[in-house]
Amino acid sequence: MSRIAAAFARARDEGRAAFIGYLTAGDPDADSTVRLAGALARAGADVLELGVPFSDPIADGPVLQRAASRALAAGTTLESVFEIARRIRETAPMALVLFSYVNPILRFGSAAAASAARSAGFDGALLTDVPPEESGELHPLLREAGLDTILLVSPTSPARRMVDAARLSSGFLYVVSRPGTTGARDRLPADLPRTVSRARRAARKLPVAIGFGISTPEAARAAARLADGVVVGSAIVQAAEPGGSRGERAVEQLTRALVRACRRDGTAS
């Protein structure tokens, strides 16, 4: 059983949805990322998506765009991300997902990137701009390296694309809650239950997680009733923006509240 599968199984046994946090690697520097990952682990996060900063993040809203700009300004490269992952893996038990646009992977060399990611301690990979129809040899290379693969589906995905995405996924199927870019929202879309129901039919026994727009315990609680996992990115990155110990405390406090909200029995423990 992979570390990602084990995280979802543990959450299921504990009567909750798995909590998946996101950080942009190298924002504002490598040491800060490692400390923030520690804050997420202490707060009970099950999985960490570690984002590779990219100069043209077309799926990202303003918060993650700022984070990518800061990380790139600090000189963060894909090799840097692998080193950050090694440091996180030394102290944090969370499953690690390499979250990237495809360009940095192709520039590094797909097979070499897959091997390096696994050696660095990553358990899975999510390539945001590679749909099932264009996966080619990429996803098989990741799987051959021992990485779980995670694909995205959205409210606009037809049934065939959802089935194809689920077929290529081995960690979980990521349901984008709404069309558009990442970013905190006040509430979840009204059609989300229908989208998740469609995704579950395609995924069968594969876990389903919801992301994009979840920023509050109330939204996390609603998402946890629908899916096996809840993903929060922009809200965590925004909480970290003050930097230093203040940012770490804010991230840990927010994450604790979100993890508690993922319980399905209504308790806060």
Of the residues 27, 46, 60, 252, which is catalytic?
Answer: 60
Q: For this structure, is 241 an active site residue?
A: no
Q: For this structure, is 60 an active site residue?
A: yes
- Edge-to-edge strand list for the sheet holding 95-100: 148-150, 124-127, 95-100, 47-51, 18-24, 229-232, 208-211, 173-176, 152-153
Quote the CA–CA distance of 153 and 155 in Å, as a whole number: 7
Quote the CA–CA distance of 90 and 87 in Å, as a whole number: 5
Quote the CA–CA distance of 134 and 30 in Å, as a whole number: 32
Nearby residues of 112 by Cβ (< 8 Å), 6 or more positions away: none
With beta carbons less than 8 A apart as the criterion, state whether 239 and 227 touch: no
Q: Quick one: DSSP state of residue 52?
A: P
Of the residues 27, 29, 46, 49, which is catalytic?
Answer: 49
Q: Please tell me whether the peptide bond between 28 and the residue prior to it is cis, using omega within 30 degrees of 0.
A: yes
Catalytic residues: 49, 60
